[in-house]
Amino acid sequence: MTNTLRFPPAEPAAAAAFFAAELAFEADPDDVVRDLESGAAQGFQLVETRSAEAFAHSRIPTAIHLDHREMDELSTKDLDRDLVYVCYCESFQCNAATKGALRLARLGFRVKRLSGGITAWRAAGYPVEGDSVGESGHTGVRCAC
C-alpha cells in the first residue's frame, strides 16, 4: 500500500461537500487581485488584522486596518454589514487573520480569510503599499499578530 492511499479517499459527494465548504472560508490572492484590477471588488473588503505598525509598514491596496485584538462592537460599528470581510495577516504561519475572522463572525459579519496572507500576495508579485514599499522580501515587521 502506498503512503498516498493508506487512507482511502472520500467518496466524490463527500469530497465535493468538503471542498465547497473550504472555499466558503478562504479567498485566493489571484481571485482577489483579479477582482480589484477589473473593478469588480464590490461585495467585499480586505481587512489587515495585524498591528497598526504592520499595516503602516506594508499592506494590500484598498485594505482597511482592524487589529484583531481591538475588534469589538464599538470598533466595528461603522462597518457595512452587507459586505464580506476578507481578513489577512502575515502568512500561513500567522493566525491574526483567523483571530480577526473569528471575532468579526462572532460580531455577526460575513468573513473569509485570504490564503497565505500578505506574504503569498507579495510572492505572487501583486502590489503592496506602505512604508516598506521597494524593500524586497519580508515586510520588515515580524508577524505582529
Give the separation between CA 93 and CA 48, rounded to whole angstroms. Answer: 15
Selected catalytic residue, list 87, 89, 94, 145? 87
CA distance 5 to 113: 30
CB-count exposure of residue 143 (10 Å: 0-12, 13-18, 19+):
middle
Strand 64-65 with 26-27, pairing = unpaired
Q: Answer yes or no: 94 catalytic.
A: no
Residues in contact with 56: Cβ distance below 8 Å, sequence separation at least 6, in sequence order: 130, 131
Catalytic residues: 87
